[in-house]
Chain A
Amino acid sequence: DQQVKQNSPSLSVQEGRISILNCDYTNSMFDYFLWYKKYPAEGPTFLISISSIKDKNEDGRFTVFLNKSAKHLSLHIVPSQPGDSAVYFCAASRNAGGTSYGKLTFGQGTILTVHP
């Protein structure tokens, strides 16, 4: 049972435009959500996160939106750059207050390609 789903295996965007990556979850106990970026031959690196008490978190070109009622989150990258081309994973965990950071449930990943 895939509790975190990224239904788009790939996304292609022109440089300078907006990239929107989507993620859905089914477990209503999840209360902390993260996005990771992964380049080939490297481990995933943390990008941005959001707690369930918020509906938006912004960090530079990256913004994550959370819609709890729809159990949906999205990552917006504006403007997109060729260096953003990578695999993006969303992840979710329970009990953001303390002990859950060791247990993340990941989506399948979306390959983002930004064309110059």
Chain B
Amino acid sequence: EAQVTQNPRYLITVTGKKLTVTCSQNMNHEYMSWYRQDPGLGLRQIYYSMNVEVTDKGDVPEGYKVSRKEKRNFPLILESPSPNQTSLYFCASSGRAEAFFGQGTRLTVV
């Protein structure tokens, strides 16, 4: 079954404590992305990757890092989370057609 798997689904953390949200896809897709969803703003792209070791900033990259060491994995790293990064995060992967999304990670930074 084609899947994009994110972990964890829910996370509450404190300001400044580094965290990583993992994302894995089993479709051998080249393109992977991270989005955040906020009320009234829709989904905004944080970072994307067009292939292994190739990443680029999206529309709201500040405070985030990514890496693409393997084709299937695209972790999102928050080195020093702040309350304004409280949001619903989605990982997506795509080939030559539409993007497939993970189930989301709800992050709360207190």
Q: Which residues of B contact A104 (CB under 8 A)?
A: 33, 43, 45, 92, 99
Docked-complex contact B100 and A102, CB < 8 angstroms: no
Contact of B42 among A42, A43, A45, A109 (CB under 8 A): A109
Q: Residues 95-116 of chain A: 1 if any B CB is under 8 Å from the residue's CB, otherwise 0?
A: 0001101111111110000000
Known: A46-B99, A46-B100. A101 touches B42 (CB 8 A): no
The count of residues in chain B whose C-beta lies closer than 8 Å to any C-beta of chain A is 30
Query: Chain A at the B interface: mostly helix, strand, loop or mixed?
Result: loop
Task: Using C-beta atoms within 8 Å of the partner chain, give the interface range for chain A.
Answer: 20 to 34
Residues of B within 8 A of A (CB): 4, 30-33, 35, 40-45, 48-50, 58-59, 90, 92, 94-104
Residues of A within 8 A of B (CB): 4, 6, 9, 34, 36, 41-46, 49, 89, 91, 98-99, 101-109
